[in-house]
Each structure stands twice: as structure tokens, then as C-alpha cells.
Amino acid sequence: MKHPLIGIFDSGVGGLTVLAEAARFLPAARYLYFADSGFAPYGEKSRSEILERCFKIADKMAQRNVDAIVVACNTATSSAIVEMRQRYSFPIIGMEPALKPAAENAHDGTILVLGTAFTIREPKYQELLQRFQRQREIISLPCPGLVNLIEAGGKDLPEMNARLKQILGDLPASNISAIVLGCTHFVFLKNNLRTIFKTNIEFFDGNLGTARQLVRMLAERGHVCPEASPEANTPRIKPQIEIDTSGERHHVLFLCETLLSELMNNQIKPFMPMNND
Ligand code: DGL
């Protein structure tokens, strides 16, 4: 049986959190991951710059005959998903801040959405916000600087919590019950946020929904994935992952390997970089 080849990309290492979730459902699939760290952060770029990067990365993945691409980035999805779906014949799966599941499931209290400046101001998110702000109190907060720190490998450094506290201001003392991690990089910051909020915060991200959507889209295209259930995956098959980056190779590949091992409890095969011509 031929296992599907899935392309996943982000402005950097954030999309690894999506890759880890996809690999729980589809451990026998083959993955190409591209960390566009040389052009991060997308959240501070223009729409046309982001679109150009998305086409460049996806064109290269298309040449490798991927069966689907996951845009593992809320910012890139807001800017490029429509054009990407027009350009490629295989499924393109995008992401948006998980405000719907949060609004429907979070306990009483205010929902805090953390995203990039770009995602928060784009019409796609503003429409989503309008749908739910009648039923819940929602605060949307752009978070400049965090992506760069994570890309530098600093999620566990004291600077990260200092920067987070600066961005959050008085919010940790208010009635926040849930946080939507509306940027895939921020999924790495759950522990930092738990420390700062000191209360039982519920977290919502789009990763599970994205992985499920990927499984559905592949199934519609005839890719039967009998292993497509995280519960069924014990003992785990180690997914085959190839990683490449536009950033400083040694640093980014080492960071990817470290973060992926954390996310997947070391259940990864050693990966090889993609052909970077
Ligand atoms: N990880 C990305 C997202 O989900 C973007 C971060 C950035 O490059 O600004 O939005």
C-alpha cells in the first residue's frame, strides 16, 4: 500500500505542533516539513509577501507530488488559502484560531485569543469574532516578538515569560478562563502561560481539527488510512519526516529535532533534509 506524502509548512517551527498531531492520526504517512524561518515572522509581513512565500514553498512540494498540503500557520492561511486552493489540484488544509470550540466548550469567563497582529486584524478572523462575541466575552490580543523568541530557541528562557507578562499586562489577574492559541508557535507556550496565570486555564488550538480534516480529505481522495486513529497507534509506528528550512540550517534543524522529540515523546525516525536547490 502506498502511504500518502503530506507537505506541511509554517513560517518556522510553530507548524511542528500540527505535524505532531497529524502524525498521531497518520503515523504511516510520509511528511515533508518546511520551516520558513528565514522569512519569519509572517505576522509582520504584508499579504503579498506572505502569498509569494506560500506559492514558493507549495510549488516545491507540488514537484515532489505531495497528496495534500497543510498550511500549519494561521497567518499564512488568512493571507493565502484562497489563492492556494485555486492554484493546486490536491487538497490544501488551512487553520484558523480555535474560537468556535472555545466559545462552545470553555467554562464561564472571558476567552483570550492570542494571535499575530496580521491574523487578528484580517477580515477572516474579524468575521469569526463577530459570530461568537454576542455569546461570550472575548479579548483578542496581538503578540509581537514571541515568534522571534521561539525561533531563537528561547521558549524556556526567562526572557520569554518577561515578554509574555509585558504583552498580557493586567490580564492574568482578570476573569480569563480559556486561552485560544491562535498562532501555531504559541502552542509551545502552554507551560509559560500556566505559570503566569496561576489558575486553571483551558487551552484551545486548531491542531486536532486540522489533523482530522487532513484525514477526511485524504480519505475522500481514496487514501485509506487504517491506522488513522491515535488510540489504535500503540505500539506506535514511527512516522517518516523530512525537514527543510530557509533559515540558518544548523540552528533550525537542531531546534526542529528537539521540539519534535518533546512533542512526540521521541517517537520519530531521524529525519533527512529535503533537497534544498
Ligand atoms: N505560526 C504562525 C501562525 O500560526 C505565524 C507566526 C509568524 O510567523 O508570525 O500564525
Q: How far is the CA of 41 from the centre of ligand 1 (A)?
A: 6
* Same domain? 85 vs 109: no
Distance, CA of 23 to CA of 239 (rounded, Å): 6
Q: How far is the CA of 232 from the centre of ligand 1 (A)?
A: 31
Counting atoms of ligand 1 from 1, which one is nearest the CA of 95? 4
Closest residue by CA, ligand 1 atom 2: 73
Ligand 1 pocket test, pick from 149, 183, 210 with the greatest ligand atom count within 8 Å of Cβ, gives: 183
The parent domain of residue 269 ranges over: 5-94+207-273
* Residues near ligand 1 (Cβ within 6 A): 10-11, 14, 40-43, 73-75, 116, 119, 147, 183-185
Domain of residue 199, CATH code: 3.40.50.1860
pLDDT tens, residue order, the chain (277 aa): 678 999 999 999 999 999 999 999 998 899 999 999 999 999 999 999 999 999 999 999 999 999 999 999 999 999 999 999 999 999 999 999 999 999 999 989 999 999 999 999 999 999 999 999 999 999 999 999 999 999 999 999 999 999 999 999 999 999 999 999 999 999 999 999 999 998 789 999 999 999 999 999 999 998 867 666 666 554 567 789 999 999 999 999 999 999 999 998 755 554 555 544 4
* Same domain? 61 vs 111: no
Q: How far is the CA of 111 from the centre of ligand 1 (A)?
A: 20
What letter does residue 138 receive in the DSSP assignment?
Answer: E
Cα 206 to the center of its chain, rounded Å: 8
Tell me if 246 sits within 8 A of 276, measured CB to CB. Answer: no
Tell me if 181 sits within 8 A of 209, measured CB to CB. Answer: no
The number of domains in the chain is 2
* Same domain? 190 vs 219: no
pTM: 0.93
Tell me if 274 sits within 8 A of 242, measured CB to CB. Answer: yes
108 to 88, 101, 137, 198: CA distances (angstroms): 42, 14, 9, 17
Q: Which of 182, 204, 226 is the last residue of a domain?
A: 204
DSSP line for 54-120 = HHHHHHHHHHTT-SEEEE--HHHHHHHHHHHHHH-SS-EE-----HHHHHHHSPSSEEEEEE-HHHH
Cell numbers placing 116: 499575530
